[in-house]
Amino acid sequence: MVRSKRSDLAAAALTLLLAWLVIYPIVIVAADAAHPSALRDFFTRPGEWAALWASIWISLVSVILAAAIGIPLAFLFEWFDFPGRKTLGALIALPVVLPPLVGVIAFLFLYGESGFIARAVQSLLHLQNAPWRLQGAVAILLVHAYSMYVYFYLFTRAGLAKLDVSMLEAAQALGADRRATLWRVIVPLLRPSLVGAAILTFMTALGSFSAPYIFGGGFRVMTTQIVATKLNGDLPLAMVETVALALVAMAGLIILRRTEGDDILVALGKGIAPRPRPIRRASVRWLAAGAGWGLAVLLLLPHLTLALVSLVPYGAWTTEVLPPVINFDNYRRLFSETERLRPLWNSL
């Protein structure tokens, strides 16, 4: 009796907490958005619909690009054995630890107009101006693809690790070739993992602000549109834009969840995942290892860029391809000056 009463109290407390943290903000936003003039402005201004459509297609293309990078990497590192596979597999997942803003800044220092790559190309080709301008939808998609492929990589690797080898053996015994086994056995079993990665990528891209804000330029998505509207003092219209973005997110969640299907696939068998296949030919094995390390370095370049830039004193690096001075002065100032250390403690 006492235990049941405690459970009821805990459930009531949890319900009140969720109502305060989730339902109450939604009600406040919806109430502020129910303003006739704000609704009229939203539905009649082409810029609002353009920003909303930009958010949708940027998110969809981000899912496609992230899947195109993450899924093949997952198959490579989960199913094939070559020198350095475990180390590389862990290194390639490192972009997930970068906060969104930090990743965008790292991308800017590496591939931006004044970044390492642009300066190197400009110096090599003796150009007067930067060879490219990293701005607009293409720049946003590049940042999203780099930072979000990890979702597909991790989800797909987890799904492959749970596959039952007996299912693959049964498919081969029934005469299915590798392509048929992939599309009729492996992909259906991986569908929950792929849908989960797609949902996470779509939601992250839809709510992305750092990349559109820094690289967008004149290209507006709904997140930057909301901030611009708020800064202009039109709070009711900003609330309408927020509700519109939330409705798109809910619609995307429902659609992606339905692609998972109603059927539940259960693998009954040995419960043993396929072992990584060793690459027999030495030349191919070392070629795969070299390609893997090269890809890992390419994907980790933004991390390495951050580490290098953090060692450059303020004002010491201007037009040179590489920084002329490297020391630990920035770290000394960070830990010795209270006003610089306080944001770090606040974040922790």
Measured distance between the N- and C-terminal CA atoms of the chain, rounded to whole angstroms: 42
How many CA atoms, within 13 angstroms, populate the side-chain half-sphere of residue 118?
17
What is the CATH architecture assignment of 46-281?
Orthogonal Bundle (1.10)
Positions of the chain with pLDDT lower than 70, given as ranges: 1-5, 169, 260-277, 318-319, 321
Position 10 scores a pLDDT of 79
Position 71 scores a pLDDT of 92
Position 68 scores a pLDDT of 94
143, 145, 148, 153 alpha-carbon torsion, rounded to 10°: -150
Position 2 scores a pLDDT of 56
* Cα distance between residue 67 and residue 263, in whole Å: 23
Position 271 scores a pLDDT of 56
What does the pLDDT look like over 56-84, one tens digit per residue? Answer: 999 999 999 999 999 988 888 888 777 77
Position 225 scores a pLDDT of 92
Please tell me whether residue 143 adopts helix, strand or coil conformation.
helix
Closest by CA to 140, choosing from 60, 69, 198, 247, is 60
Indicate the helix (H) or strand (E) that contains 278: strand 277-278
pTM summary value: 0.83
Closest by CA to 117, choosing from 305, 299, 325, 327, is 305
